[in-house]
Amino acid sequence: VVQGVWTRVAWWQIALLFLPALLNLWGIWHAFNHTFETPLERVLWMVACVFVPVLGGVAYVLFGWRRAH
């Protein structure tokens, strides 16, 4: 009997795969719905979350959300 790769994957491994995507989606949503010092800063945070997926989302969670008003 041949087992597929998904039969050996635990729930927490799947959660780890989706965590970066959730950080990016939250970063885009949060930056879109809040104001920043300049409109350019707001756009740059959204661009970072879209075009630099993992690092952009993590950077926004660490630095960007505190700058939002």
Residue 16 has what pLDDT? 86
Short-list 52, 48, 58, 50, CA closest to 23: 58
Q: Tell me how far apart the alpha carbons of residues 13 and 67 are, in angstroms, rounded to a whole number.
A: 32
Tokens in use for 64? 């960007």
Per-residue pLDDT of the chain (69 residues; tens, 9 = 90+): 556 666 677 888 888 888 888 989 999 999 999 999 999 999 999 999 999 988 999 999 999 989 989
Are 35 and 68 a contacting pair, CB within 8 Å? yes
Looking at residue 3, what is its pLDDT?
A: 64
